[in-house]
Amino acid sequence: MPDSADGALRAAAIALLQARRAGRVNADDEEAVLNAAKHSGISAAAAAIAARDCALAGLTSDEPFARLAAIISRRSNEAPAAARAQCGLAALRLRKRTWRRLGGKVRFSDDAALAELWDYSKSRKKVTQTPSARGGFDWPPAFDDPSRPLVVDAGCGFGALAAALAKARPHVNVLAVDRAAHCLLYGDGLAHRLGMTGRLRFACASADEALHWVRECYEGPLRAVLFMFPTPPALDERSKNAQLPQTPSKCLVNAATLRLAARAGHAGETCVLVASNVEDVAVRTRDLFASLPEFRVLQAKECGLAWPRTPVDGDAALRTKRWIEAGGARAVGEDFLGASPVPARTETEGWYEKESRPVYRVAGVVCKSDL
C-alpha cells in the first residue's frame, strides 16, 4: 500500500479540517477528500481516519460519509451494510476495529463512539485560554424559540452529550460552550446533520461568558448548568502535570462561576450538576455548594436517585490514594448522586462507565439568585 496515497487522503482531510476551522466548509473541500479517497491503493484504515477527520471537521451532510463508507467497504471486503453511513459518527462506525464487533449499529452516543472521541481528546493539548476569535461559531447564540428552558453544557468537549440531550428533550434549548474550538466542530457538525441548529448551539466561549450572556440576554428560564468532568486542579505540589490548573479557583468549577450560574438562574428552578472521575473534585464541589448562600446541595432522593453508601474504592488512582491519605473526605451519602440525572453521556463519562471506573456526581439547586 503506497504511503503517498494514504498521505494524499490525510492531507485532504486535514485541509478540510483547516477550512472548517477558518469558518469555511464547502462542497469543494468535501470533494477533495472524496477524490483523494478514490485514489487506488488507499488503505481502509487511512480512509477511516480521514472519515473521522471529516466528522471532526463538522461536515454538514451525510453524503461524504456514505461515499467514504462505500470506498472503504470495497477496499476491505467488509459487509457493505456495516458501511452505510448515516450520521457524523459514521467515521467511528467505519473504524475497522469496532466495525466487525458492532455491525454498523454504532450511534453517536454509543460506548464505542464516545471512546473514539475520548481517545482523540487525550491526544490534544489542553487549551488554557479562551481565544478571542470565535472561529466561526455562533456568538451570541441564536435559538429559534428563545423562550424555551435552557440547558448550558459548560466545557462541553466534543458535544456528544449536548447533541444527545437536545435530541432526547425536544422542548429545551441547549447551549454548549468550550474554550477549545477544535472539539466544537464535531458537535456543531452533528447539530447541522441532525437538523437541530435552532435548538442546539455550540460556541467557543468560556463558561463565565456564557453565563453572563444567559443572565443578560436569554429570554427563557435557565433549567440547568452542566459541568461534566472539569479538569481537576493539581492536588498538591507533587503533581507533575503542568497542564492542570494549579489552584481550585482556576478550575472550570469555582465559587465565582457558580455564583454567576446562580445569578443567571432562578431560585428553586435552576440546577447545577458537576460530574467527575476524581473524588476530591466531587467533595470540594459539594463543600462549595454548601458554603455558598446561593445554593443548597441537591439530595439524591429528591431526584429519585440512589446515593453512594460506602466509599467507592474501585479506582486505584494515585490521586485518590493521596487524597485519602491526606484525610480528604469521601464522596459518600445523600449529597452525592448514585447515577446521572441526565439522559445522555459525554465522551469521558462513556469511557469511565465502559471501564467500570467510578464517576462522582453532585448537584446544587439555586435557592437565591439575586445576591
Ligand X SMILES: C[S@@+](CC[C@H](N)C(=O)[O-])C[C@H]1O[C@@H](n2cnc3c(N)ncnc32)[C@H](O)[C@@H]1O
Residues in the site for ligand X, rule: CB under 6 A?
Answer: 127, 154-157, 177-180, 183, 206-207, 228-231, 252, 346-349
Smallest separation, CB 175 to ligand X (Å) = 12
CB nearer to ligand X: give 84 or 259.
Answer: 259
Smallest separation, CB 187 to ligand X (Å) = 10
Cα→Cα distances 188→21, 79, 137, 204, 313, Å: 12, 30, 8, 11, 37
- CA gap 191, 159 in Å, rounded: 9
Smallest separation, CB 138 to ligand X (Å) = 15
CB nearer to ligand X: give 8 or 112.
Answer: 112
Smallest separation, CB 51 to ligand X (Å) = 21
- CA gap 298, 271 in Å, rounded: 8
Smallest separation, CB 334 to ligand X (Å) = 24
143, 145, 152: which is closest to 225 by C-alpha? 152
Strands 222-228 and 150-154 come out as parallel
CB nearer to ligand X: give 160 or 196.
Answer: 160
Cell numbers linked to 82: 456495516
Q: How many CB atoms lie within 10 A of CB 232?
A: 22
- CA gap 157, 176 in Å, rounded: 9
Cell numbers linked to 115: 471512546
CB nearer to ligand X: give 104 or 233.
Answer: 233
CB nearer to ligand X: give 30 or 209.
Answer: 209
CB nearer to ligand X: give 40 or 129.
Answer: 129
Cα→Cα distances 165→138, 169, 230, 247, 278, Å: 19, 6, 19, 31, 24
**What value, to the nearest 5°, has the Cα angle with vertex 194 and ends 192 and 198?**
60
CB nearer to ligand X: give 18 or 249.
Answer: 249
Smallest separation, CB 275 to ligand X (Å) = 7
Q: Which residue has the cell 455558598?
A: 292
Q: How many CB atoms lie within 10 A of CB 101?
A: 9
CB nearer to ligand X: give 179 or 330.
Answer: 179
Smallest separation, CB 235 to ligand X (Å) = 16
Got the DSSP string for 196-218? -TTTEEEEE--HHHHHHHHHHH-
Smallest separation, CB 355 to ligand X (Å) = 14
